[in-house]
């Protein structure tokens, strides 16, 4: 089974291949991109033990020479320290302008390697092989690359598109249920922001997906990638429509900061809670029907996901502090935050200059 979604960006266009057992045949996809039979693979230690052999096997069976750098897993790898290590390693491996770098891993590896590729010799081509659901439906697509700073998440980076994305659905079988569901937070987001029918489909089918139904996983990843590809094709550098992909993210980023980017709250869990809070805020602003926020919360509950702030273990700061964190968002302009609000499921829009008293009330109620 193999599907394809194209990201149409002129001479920077590329395809996302979605299917089962793609890693085992990755060499067939990658070989046509190579000027010489040599690639550099960057991965993390967890992913290396699970998936590196299949990739190696596939490339070496085609006589492609492969060198591997394996980094520690976790968000702290998205740092100056590891970007330096990666770029210096690539230079030591004599990776040239016309070579191809492969990012094998989740969002951390994809973002770090994409950024390394963007600055190495002023830009070397790279291929994303995302291994988590979150990376398959979001971070590997659309060219946002970068690392974190002590000042905040993703503050250093570049828009730099990959040459290809290989989303192997079989790799999702090795995810813990918590990681799968965290990725699902981003899948659900696509229905909520722009496709009512997809959200309705998810209400019916997402539990099967979580339990391992391959066809449903392929469909959900494909639909998510189609939506992201369309948005990115219209607004690559986030001057407008791309901001819709941040539905739930302003709340999420504040919660991630408040929980110290720890495993108290995974990013996709924060997106799920953030979407519920965004719909609640929209309703209180009179923008969306009364019953819509409870439908969003009911879906999160059905999936066994975190629904509200009280589901995050440990103490959280008060609403004023959370709003302060929101103002640190890199998309804030003059301290004003652009919130993504919704008129209904499948109909999100950007609301500049929101009434923060309403946001404060929503947070206070959710903190109880
Ligand atoms: N993850 C949001 C974006 O790619 O724009």
Q: What is the DSSP string of 272-287?
A: HHHHHHHHHHHHHTTS
d(CA 250, CA 18): 29
pLDDT given for residue 138 in this prediction: 97
Per-residue model confidence as pLDDT tens for the chain (368 residues): 689 999 999 999 999 999 999 999 999 999 999 999 999 999 999 999 999 999 999 999 999 999 999 999 999 999 999 999 999 999 999 999 999 999 999 999 999 999 999 999 999 999 999 999 999 999 999 999 999 988 778 889 999 999 999 999 999 999 999 999 999 999 999 999 999 999 999 999 999 999 999 999 999 999 999 999 999 999 999 999 999 999 999 999 999 989 987 889 999 999 999 999 999 999 999 999 999 999 999 999 999 999 999 999 999 999 999 999 888 776 777 777 889 999 999 999 999 888 999 999 999 999 88
**Domain spans of the chain, in order of start:** 2-174, 177-367
d(CA 49, CA 140): 21
Question: In this structure, is the dihedral angle defined by the CA atoms of residues 104, 110, 115 and 117, taken in order, positive or negative?
Answer: positive
pLDDT given for residue 4 in this prediction: 97
pLDDT given for residue 289 in this prediction: 97
Q: How far is the CA of 64 from the centre of ligand 1 (A)?
A: 33
Residues 6+ apart with CB under 8 A from 81: none
pLDDT given for residue 153 in this prediction: 84
- Report the top-level CATH class of 2-174: alpha beta
Q: Look at residues 349, 200, 366 and name the one whose alpha carbon lies nearest to residue 287.
A: 349
Q: How far is the CA of 18 from the centre of ligand 1 (A)?
A: 19
pLDDT given for residue 1 in this prediction: 66
Where are the alpha helices (H) located in 44-162, listed in sequence order?
A: 45-47, 53-60, 80-92, 107-119, 133-134
- Give the residue numbers annotated as catalytic, written as ranges: 122, 144, 186, 228, 238, 242, 246, 249, 253, 267
What CATH number is given for 177-367 in this structure? 1.20.1090.10
CB of residue 142 inside a 6 A radius of ligand 1:
yes
Residues 6+ apart with CB under 8 A from 51: 23, 43, 104, 131, 171, 174
DSSP-assigned beta bridge partners for residue 68 = 41
CB of residue 245 inside a 6 A radius of ligand 1:
yes
Q: What is the DSSP string of 321-360?
A: HHHHHHHT-TT-BTTB--EEEEEETTEEEEESS--HHHHH
Pocket test for ligand 1, best of 106, 107, 144 (most atoms within 8 A of CB): 144
- How far lies 199's CA from each of 148, 204, 223, in Å? 32, 9, 11
């Amino acid at each position: 089974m193999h599907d394809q979604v194209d990201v149409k960006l002129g001479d920077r266009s590329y395809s996302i291949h979605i299917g089962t057992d793609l890693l085992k045949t990755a060499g067939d996809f990658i070989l046509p991109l190579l000027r010489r039979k040599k690639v550099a693979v960057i991965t993390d230690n967890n992913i290396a033990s699970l998936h590196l052999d299949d990739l190696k096997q596939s490339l070496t069976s085609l006589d492609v020479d492969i060198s591997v750098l394996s980094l520690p897993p976790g968000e702290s790898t998205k740092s100056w320290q590891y970007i330096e290590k990666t770029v210096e390693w690539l230079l030591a491996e004599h990776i040239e302008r016309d070579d191809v770098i492969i990012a094998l891993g989740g969002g951390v590896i994809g973002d770090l390697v994409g950024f390394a590729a963007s600055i190495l010799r002023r830009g070397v081509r790279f291929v994303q092989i995302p291994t988590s659901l979150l990376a398959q439906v979001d971070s590997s697509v659309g060219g946002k690359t970068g690392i974190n700073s002590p000042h905040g998440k993703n503050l250093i980076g570049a828009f730099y598109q990959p040459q290809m994305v290989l989303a192997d659905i079989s790799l999702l079988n090795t995810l813990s249920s918590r990681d799968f569901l965290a990725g699902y937070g981003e899948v659900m987001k696509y229905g909520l922001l722009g496709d009512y029918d997809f959200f309705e489909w998810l209400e019916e089918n997402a539990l099967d997906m979580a339990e391992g139904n391959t066809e449903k996983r392929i469909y959900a990843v494909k639909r998510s990638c189609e939506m992201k590809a369309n948005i990115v094709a219209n607004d690559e550098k986030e001057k407008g429509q791309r901001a819709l992909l941040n539905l739930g993210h302003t709340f999420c980023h504040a919660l991630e900061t408040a929980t110290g980017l720890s495993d108290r709250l995974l990013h996709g869990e924060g997106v799920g809670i953030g979407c519920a809070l965004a719909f609640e805020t929209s309703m209180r602003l009179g923008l969306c029907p009364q019953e819509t926020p409870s439908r969003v919360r009911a879906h999160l509950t059905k999936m066994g996901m975190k629904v509200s702030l009280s589901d995050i273990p440990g103490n959280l700061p008060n609403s004023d502090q959370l709003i302060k964190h929101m103002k640190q968002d890199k998309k804030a302009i003059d301290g004003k935050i652009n919130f993504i609000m919704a008129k209904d499921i499948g109909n999100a829009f950007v609301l500049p200059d929101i009434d923060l008293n309403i946001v404060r009330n929503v947070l206070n109620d959710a903190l109880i």
